Structure 1
Amino acid sequence: MANMRSFFVWILIFKTCYSLCFPAENDVVINNSSCSLSTVPKNLPSHTHILDLSQNNITEIHIQDFASLHWLKSLNLSSNKISNLARGFLRSNQELECLDLSNNELSSIECHFLHNVTSLKYLDISDNSFLSLTLGKAFRFLKDLEYLGLGSRKTIKLQKNDLKEVSGKQLQEVSIGLKTLSEFDPGTLQVLRTTKLHIVLPSTNKTGLLETVLRDAFNSSDTLKLSNIECYQECSQYINSFKTLGKFSRVSNLLLQDLTLEDWKDLISIAKHIWVSTIKSLSISDMTLRKITYASFECLETTLKTFTLRRIKITTFYFAQSIVYNFFGSIMVENLTISNSGLIFMTCPKEGNIYKFMDFSDNSFNSDFLFQDCRFLNLLDTLILQQNKLGQLFRVSTMTRYMKSLKHLDVSQNQLTLEENSNCLWTNSLTKLNLSSNKLTDLVFTCLPSRLEILDVQKNDIYSVPKELNSLDRLKELYLGANKLANLPDCSNFRNLEILFVEANSFHEPSSSSLQSCQRLTMLNAASNPFTCTCHLRDFSRMKENTHIEMIGWPESYQCAYPDNLKGTLLKDFHLSEVTCSTTLLLVIVLGGMIVLTIVIGLMCHFLDLPWYFRMTWQWTQTKRRAMKTDTHLLTEKLAYHAFVSYSQHDSSWVKEQLLPNLEERGSPLRICLHERNFIPGKGIIENIINCIEKSYKSIFVLSPNFIQSEWCHYELYFAQHQVLSEQSDNLILVMLESIPQYLIPSKYYKLKSLMAKKTYLEWPKDKNKQRLFWANLQAAIGISLTAPTEEVFV
């Protein structure tokens, strides 16, 4: 953990100073910090961009150590024991931009190796063992240098020409450690051209040294940071030094860090000098006060706009807190920050204050009476009470009611709750409210100012956004992440909403239709929810491609959590067909298919006469079935013909041209009995009819309108049906040559009507394509094997 912490501290420092030293997305980072290394590791990846070798035991850098790292941009060698650097050890690292050699044992500040890295932007060689700070000529060639850190653990002198090699460069920041300074030439620091100057002040009490350094520093930079201010017993030396600020200092932003003061009154004495200077911003951090005693402070006219206190520690336990409260209640600044300092309360400032910004974050405010009935903060625009111990939201609301200019309030990371029927009295001016990281429930939506434009209620215990709430028509941004929402909120009460964050909630199947009321929504963050990938999620998974809404975290942070077989699948890769998910569409397809099939079948029946084919096929199968059950051996003993044909003389041409050729001459020839050729001369017609019917396996009747006009056909039909009844056989075959309407059949043909009503008949098709099936059916109906005929079958 230690080495990782140092690595990220180093990265943070680089990021703060220059973004170029922070790893880019594709940079290769090698972290070998705190690994007890005594030499630079061999075989480092040649494509390394950032290398951290800090906090090891390396004593020497050889010329070949980094020769293969042609793409190296950042190198951290701080906190080692390096005393010797090969003159050209960076000659292969032309891309190097950041180099940290601080806290080592270097004794020479000539830095000849800098000739090889002229593109260097960040260089820190502070806290070494330099005998002097006289920069070598190699610094002259660092044309892109932006940050320079200098300093030595040895007692040093700082002379006027020591920094001349960088005097012509416009730097962003220079940090010089003068803790061990013994002598100083006035004007030395003024040769620098830097936006920010950081001086670690000397610890020596040598008369006039501190005052000389500060006078030089006050005229060297717009932003000045002073650290290592230590006055345990007597602070007069420091207090007098600040007198030099005067009205003609260049400094507009003053930062005081690492202060140890004996008494509160010492701070007031320093503040008095700053108040009458040209400084606009004063920041004090990491300060320790040993005791608090009263010191008067008159509210003088000042150019100071911003006063910041961070990480203030008071070692005495008992003191009059009013001393502190009265000071901050009377100073005339626009911006006040007191953070991470253990404050438990703050009184209402005095009338006439000009506070516009107040930040009391990371303290211990726990009183519900903070600023209650405070009528003297009329100019306050922003109030930050983040990370305290506030408990009741309605008290926070009443705190603001007299703050007529308040627009931004941050009370996140507290312990806020809200009870039912609480009366919230917000100021009407509030437009931005941060209530994140508290203990609020759905009731919070009943206690909101009506003119809000930005609302942050992330990390609370909200299960849903009630529909019955006061309309927030001006709300543009709503942050609901890390709550317990089961559905997307309805925008009916937020009609102007543009940004909605609902990440890390409990959504399973959010529907895009829930956002239909969010007509102006342009950005949505619904990442990291436990999505159930079913049909209900289809529209939501397509929202990115079907709408103009920007999906934050898409697609990596949108994954299926259920069902198990889809767990981890990205929503963009989850697909279900429209038919699977739409019952209506499925019914339309099924019913449509049935309708189309019915139409197709109807058309086929109409144009292809399919019913006729089905009927003929059915007759053929039934005939075959009956034939299998018939004892043909007993039948053939007394039969001479396969079939007797009864027809009208007017239909004889069809019988002779169609029937006989297809039955007697093709396939398995059949013996057909016709009255014209097979009646025995000399016998009566009735006797011949009876003999032919008895000697034939089947009787074929060719039906047509001509048939019912023939008297003999009537007799033949009568005798054939009589045989059927007497022998209980099914030997009649009706062939419908031409259709016969029932009303045309004479009443005496009642038997024919009966047969046509209950017996299936074969229809003669006019279509030649159908005639082959007709003959196949007729042959199947007659199908039987007979013995060879004798010469006199009727003898």
Structure 2
Amino acid sequence: MEDDAEPTRRAIRFISIVFSLTISSCIGFSLKNCRISLDNALCSGSKLQAVPRDIPSSVKGFDLTGNRITKIQVGDFRNHTALIKLNLKRNSISQIEEGAFADLRSLQNLNLNNNHLPQLGNVFDGLSNLTELRITSNNIITVLSSSFKPLRSLTFLDLSYNNIQKLLVIHNAIQHLPNLRSLIIKKISVRHFQSWELTNSTVGIRCLDLSQNAIDVFNVTTDVFQNLTWLNIGGPYRKQKMTWYLREPKLLSRVATLDIGGIPLENITAFFESFNFSLTSLKMNAMKYNLKELLNVSCTIPTLTKLQIRNNNFNLMDSGLFQLCSSVTELDLAENHIRSIFNDSFRAFLFLKRLNLSQNKLSLVPSAVRNLTSLLELDLGSNNISSLGCHDFAKLGKLNELSLNLNFIRTVKQCVFEDLTNLRVLKMQMNKITRLNGAFKRYLPNLRQLVLHNNTLTTIEQGEFEGLRSLQNLSLQNNHINKLKNGCFKGLTMLTELLLQSNDIRGSEITQEVFKELNNLTRLVLLDNHIKYNSNAALPKPPFSHLFRLEVLAMAGQSSKKMGSLPRNFLQGLTNLLVFDTRNAQILSLHQDMFKYTPRLQKLDISTNELTDVSPHLFDPIPNLLSLYISRTTLQSLDFLNTANLTKLEFLQARKNHYSVITEEQLDSLSGLVYLDLQGNSFTCDCDNLGFIQWINYTKTQVYDAYNFECNYPLHLKGTKLLDLDIRSCSVDVEFLYFISTTCATFLFMLMTFTYHFLRWQLTYAYHLFLAFLHERKHRNVPPQCHFDAFVSYNAHDELWVLRELLPKLEGEQGWKLCLHHRDFQPGKPIIDNITEAIYASRKTICVISRRYLESEWCSREIQVASFRLFDEHKDVLILIFLEDIPVRELSPYYRMRKMLKKRSFLSWPRAVQCTNLFWENLRQALRAEEDPDGEKLQLTVQDSAPRRGR
């Protein structure tokens, strides 16, 4: 028994382990204060006071910006070994326990900006792969020399806006960082810079930012900046001059970019000699003193090519200001309040390619720019320019980009851009342009991008952009356009993006002729217009039938009380459409054939419409849909999902509807769902939502804000949380059922093993006895009709004796009528029925017994039925004839037969060999005998280990 049960116990243990693993692998997540997007946990602005512990361990990014966390503890990130980026800025962290980051062995980016850390201890253990560390605005005063020791891979360190004050503290902290390349230490209250304080800890640094530190003394006496290429020591303007000392010019011989904004220098010439052979970019913002001297000295550096001079309040009427700056190719003069520029001001810039004059007070395009024949980029944005002349951009044939945004331009003449044959980008947004006057009908053949948004255009005339054969992006949003004339986009065969949102365009303006030539358009935005139709009847000429390359169509509407519909063939022709956005369009219904023209659709937004019902067949033509937005649609249920073919859907947002019950059928239809947002619905808190509650807890789908789902019904539960509902009364204890079922299965297996080992013969006997009993019960109330004198029961091996000896004597000589199976059984009837009917239709049953007989299954059944008749009718119906001498000891397995022989006489053929006449006479007397009231109730069962053939 013990040996038999052991395999069962092992099997049960294995099944239990597999089941538990299956459950654990399927457990999903419903985060209380966060959401997961593209492997990033987003928990910003959630008023968290501690790091949440329910974030999946697989996330690569963790954003905890803007919470109320005060302490980082050991174990907060225990399971996040795959985390790459961690953002903890704008919290109230004042303490970090040692080892709190020890498990983040994959972390590369850590942001601790804007917290309350007074000092840095040994808190970075385990961060051996960290490459970027930001700890700005923490009021840090001290940094232990061993703080950054584990950060062997660190390349970027920002300690700005703290109160460290001494460079020696910085040196002691960064001396263990062999890979440090960028050191940002803005405004840390350092007033003296002594290179000896840094020694060799900065040899590998390429970028050093010391801006806003009000440094009085800057001494470089040791070679600690062998690889420095970017140096910022500028800041807001101050009157105190900075003393600069460089022992040897070669100590800063690699610096290419330098920012000295706001710093008065004692010896300007000596200062710039330090960078005489390496400097390429110089920023001198907010200098506010002898600017001409600065320019005369700095522009003598032969390598200087980029010059930025902002916030200096100077005017360019002095033609000699830049006379030594002939090598400069990029000039930035933004934010200088410049009102006018002398014609020869830029005469020295023979190779100038980029000029920035934005955020000044120019009222006209300065004529000085016409001399810059090499110019590629010109920025005149944020000035006071109100008009453009035909010769404003003469001789600027090489210009690639022109910015005229944020001015006061009202009209554009046709001749303005005639010389800009190489222009690729033109920005004229946020002006007051009302008409284009054919400015784009003939010129600008190479223009790629035209930005005209936030003007006051009302009508787009036919062929308005006909000259822009290369245009790819056209921005016309936020105008007052209410008329799109047929052919208004004629010639724009290369256009890929057209932005028309926030205008006054109506459905009647969206015609086939308007978009006819936009064969390469991939993105069309018509948001916040007034595109409505009275019915969903098919249009004779669908507006987008020629836009077969369009991938994005956005036409969400403005809030309005007027309801509308969309024609059923509105999207005809858009065979490559991937995104369709029609939120807030006040649509009452969508015809079920709406999307049969868009088989590749992947994102659909029909939110904020008055949809009360959605046909499940609406989604049949779009089996590739990945994202569905149906928020604020007044839908009462999601039953349309039951039959919708949305197995690939990954994102479903259905906020603020009236979904009180979410059924299992609805959830099962969304087998591929990754993110579900049902925020703002009120749920029924009873057993109808049992499946939904269990699904939230055990699905791989992220259910956003599930912990805040509230009950609306029944009334006594109103306002409580759905996931707080006690569902034990709704379902059985599954774990208990598993325990009971496995226990019963084990017990049954053990019982079957025991029974088979010890009682298999008794069971076989009982089985046969039961069958015989059933047949006896079947014929109990049937009155006997004896058609035969005797039924002969024999084994096939004894058939020769029956035919040669028994049959001739009893039927031939004595005249008895016998029943023999081979001649009297009815063909086609079940054998057991034939046996039973033959025995009950005969006065006697003669059993011809041999060893073969005792082993036969069918002979065993025949003698059983005869025994039942003997028991039931109390008649002497059984005659036993032994063809062989069988010792009593050999009858031990057939104990019923042995018992019968002890009480009943029988005939033995072997003993009658010498006197066969007596044998047949005794048999004749036995056949004549009537019933025996004292006959024994016999039951005989014989196992058939080798059933005879044929019976």
TM-score (norm 2): 0.50
Q: 1:146 and 1:535, CA in 2 relative to 1: closer, same or farther beyond 3 A?
A: farther
Asked if structure 1 preserves the Cα contact closer than 8 Å seen for 2:386 and 2:407, the reply is: no
* Equivalent position of 2:32 in the other structure: none
The alpha carbon displacement at 1:629 in A equals 1.2
Q: Supply the AA of the counterpart residue of 1:117.
A: T
Q: 1:114 and 1:560, CA in 2 relative to 1: closer, same or farther beyond 3 A?
A: same
The alpha carbon displacement at 1:195 in A equals 4.0
For 2:474 and 2:606, locate their aligned partners in 1 and report how far apart those are by CA, in whole Å.
Answer: 26
* Equivalent position of 1:125 in the other structure: 210
Q: 1:276 and 1:254, CA in 2 relative to 1: closer, same or farther beyond 3 A?
A: same
1:735 matched to 2:825: yes
User: Which string of whole-angstrom CA distances, capped at 9 and with x for unpartnered residues, describes residues 71-96 of structure 1?
Assistant: 43322122334431225332112222
Q: 1:67 and 1:126, CA in 2 relative to 1: closer, same or farther beyond 3 A?
A: same
- Decide which of 875, 878, 883 is 1:787's aligned counterpart: 875
* Equivalent position of 1:273 in the other structure: 345
- Decide which of 270, 290, 299 is 1:215's aligned counterpart: 299
The alpha carbon displacement at 1:430 in A equals 3.4
For 2:205 and 2:554, locate their aligned partners in 1 and report how far apart those are by CA, in whole Å.
Answer: 43
- Decide which of 174, 196, 207 is 2:258's aligned counterpart: 174
The alpha carbon displacement at 1:405 in A equals 3.4
- Decide which of 55, 61, 73 is 2:155's aligned counterpart: 73
Asked if structure 1 preserves the Cα contact closer than 8 Å seen for 2:542 and 2:570, the reply is: no
User: Which string of whole-angstrom CA distances, capped at 9 and with x for unpartnered residues, describes residues 384-441 of structure 1?
Assistant: 216425666x71774202x15332233165368777x951332425313323472589
- Decide which of 645, 653, 659 is 1:536's aligned counterpart: 645
For residue 89 of structure 1, give the secondary structure of its aligned residue in structure 2: helix
Q: 1:166 and 1:201, CA in 2 relative to 1: closer, same or farther beyond 3 A?
A: farther
* Equivalent position of 2:379 in the other structure: 308
Q: 1:351 and 1:389, CA in 2 relative to 1: closer, same or farther beyond 3 A?
A: closer
User: Which string of whole-angstrom CA distances, capped at 9 and with x for unpartnered residues, describes residues 706-740 of structure 1?
Assistant: xxxxxxxxxxxxxxxxxxxxxxxxxxxx535999x
Matches within 5 A, 1:211-610: 211-213=295-297, 215-216=299-300, 219-231=302-314, 236=317, 240-245=320-325, 249-261=326-338, 263=339, 266=340, 268-269=341-342, 272-274=344-346, 277-284=349-356, 287-289=359-361, 292=363, 299-300=370-371, 302-310=373-381, 312=382, 314=384, 321-322=386-387, 328=392, 332-333=396-397, 334-338=399-403, 341-343=406-408, 345-348=410-413, 349-350=415-416, 352-357=418-423, 359=425, 361=427, 363-365=429-431, 367=433, 369-372=435-438, 374-385=440-451, 387-389=453-455, 395=460, 398-401=463-466, 403-411=467-475, 413-414=477-478, 422-436=485-499, 438=501, 446=512, 447-448=514-515, 450=517, 452-457=519-524, 460=527, 475=549, 478-480=551-553, 502-503=602-603, 505=605, 526=626, 536-538=645-647, 559=675, 569=700
For 1:559 and 1:41, locate their aligned partners in 2 and report how far apart those are by CA, in whole Å.
Answer: 40
Q: 1:630 and 1:59, CA in 2 relative to 1: closer, same or farther beyond 3 A?
A: closer
Q: 1:658 and 1:560, CA in 2 relative to 1: closer, same or farther beyond 3 A?
A: farther
For 1:149 and 1:162, locate their aligned partners in 2 and report how far apart those are by CA, in whole Å.
Answer: 20
For 2:516 and 2:619, locate their aligned partners in 1 and report how far apart those are by CA, in whole Å.
Answer: 29
1:97 matched to 2:161: no
- Decide which of 38, 51, 57 is 2:139's aligned counterpart: 57
Asked if structure 2 preserves the Cα contact closer than 8 Å seen for 1:279 and 1:303, the reply is: yes
Q: Supply the AA of the counterpart residue of 1:657.
A: V
RMSD between superposed Cα atoms in Å: 6.0
For residue 320 of structure 2, give the secondary structure of its aligned residue in structure 1: helix
The alpha carbon displacement at 1:185 in A equals 1.1
For residue 311 of structure 2, give the secondary structure of its aligned residue in structure 1: strand
For residue 373 of structure 2, give the secondary structure of its aligned residue in structure 1: coil
**Structure 2, unaligned stretches of length 5 or more?**
1-43, 46-63, 67-85, 91-103, 558-565, 580-598, 608-615, 631-637, 651-670, 679-690, 703-770, 793-797, 830-840, 842-852, 878-924, 931-951
The alpha carbon displacement at 1:284 in A equals 2.2
Asked if structure 1 preserves the Cα contact closer than 8 Å seen for 2:282 and 2:304, the reply is: yes
1:39 matched to 2:119: yes
TM-score (norm 1): 0.58
Q: 1:503 and 1:97, CA in 2 relative to 1: closer, same or farther beyond 3 A?
A: farther
Greater Cα offset, 427-436 or 438-447: 438-447
For 2:457 and 2:804, locate their aligned partners in 1 and report how far apart those are by CA, in whole Å.
Answer: 110
* Equivalent position of 1:84 in the other structure: 166
For 1:787 and 1:501, locate their aligned partners in 2 and report how far apart those are by CA, in whole Å.
Answer: 89
Q: 1:398 and 1:429, CA in 2 relative to 1: closer, same or farther beyond 3 A?
A: closer
Asked if structure 1 preserves the Cα contact closer than 8 Å seen for 2:490 and 2:517, the reply is: no
1:204 matched to 2:289: yes
For 1:92 and 1:221, locate their aligned partners in 2 and report how far apart those are by CA, in whole Å.
Answer: 35
Asked if structure 1 preserves the Cα contact closer than 8 Å seen for 2:241 and 2:265, the reply is: yes
For 2:295 and 2:828, locate their aligned partners in 1 and report how far apart those are by CA, in whole Å.
Answer: 136
For residue 284 of structure 2, give the secondary structure of its aligned residue in structure 1: strand
For 1:788 and 1:373, locate their aligned partners in 2 and report how far apart those are by CA, in whole Å.
Answer: 128
For 1:512 and 1:214, locate their aligned partners in 2 and report how far apart those are by CA, in whole Å.
Answer: 70
Q: 1:660 and 1:539, CA in 2 relative to 1: closer, same or farther beyond 3 A?
A: farther
* Equivalent position of 1:629 in the other structure: 781
Rg larger for:
1
For 2:929 and 2:132, locate their aligned partners in 1 and report how far apart those are by CA, in whole Å.
Answer: 119
For 1:25 and 1:325, locate their aligned partners in 2 and report how far apart those are by CA, in whole Å.
Answer: 63
For 1:114 and 1:533, locate their aligned partners in 2 and report how far apart those are by CA, in whole Å.
Answer: 72
For 2:330 and 2:105, locate their aligned partners in 1 and report how far apart those are by CA, in whole Å.
Answer: 34
Q: 1:735 and 1:133, CA in 2 relative to 1: closer, same or farther beyond 3 A?
A: closer
Q: 1:700 and 1:431, CA in 2 relative to 1: closer, same or farther beyond 3 A?
A: same
User: Which string of whole-angstrom CA distances, capped at 9 and with x for unpartnered residues, describes residues 673-722 of structure 1?
Assistant: 9444545xxxxxxxxxxxx79xxxxx858897xxxxxxxxxxxxxxxxxx
Asked if structure 1 preserves the Cα contact closer than 8 Å seen for 2:788 and 2:819, the reply is: yes
Asked if structure 2 preserves the Cα contact closer than 8 Å seen for 1:435 and 1:457, the reply is: yes
For 1:114 and 1:482, locate their aligned partners in 2 and report how far apart those are by CA, in whole Å.
Answer: 63
Asked if structure 1 preserves the Cα contact closer than 8 Å seen for 2:356 and 2:380, the reply is: yes
Q: Which has the higher contact order (CA 8 A, sep 6+)?
A: 2
Q: 1:483 and 1:165, CA in 2 relative to 1: closer, same or farther beyond 3 A?
A: farther
For 1:365 and 1:59, locate their aligned partners in 2 and report how far apart those are by CA, in whole Å.
Answer: 50
Q: 1:366 and 1:209, CA in 2 relative to 1: closer, same or farther beyond 3 A?
A: closer
Asked if structure 2 preserves the Cα contact closer than 8 Å seen for 1:211 and 1:241, the reply is: yes
For 2:673 and 2:392, locate their aligned partners in 1 and report how far apart those are by CA, in whole Å.
Answer: 47
For 1:556 and 1:386, locate their aligned partners in 2 and report how far apart those are by CA, in whole Å.
Answer: 42
For residue 384 of structure 1, give the secondary structure of its aligned residue in structure 2: strand
For 2:344 and 2:576, locate their aligned partners in 1 and report how far apart those are by CA, in whole Å.
Answer: 50
For 2:618 and 2:179, locate their aligned partners in 1 and report how far apart those are by CA, in whole Å.
Answer: 50
Q: 1:557 and 1:60, CA in 2 relative to 1: closer, same or farther beyond 3 A?
A: farther
Q: 1:25 and 1:67, CA in 2 relative to 1: closer, same or farther beyond 3 A?
A: closer
The alpha carbon displacement at 1:123 in A equals 0.8
For residue 780 of structure 2, give the secondary structure of its aligned residue in structure 1: helix
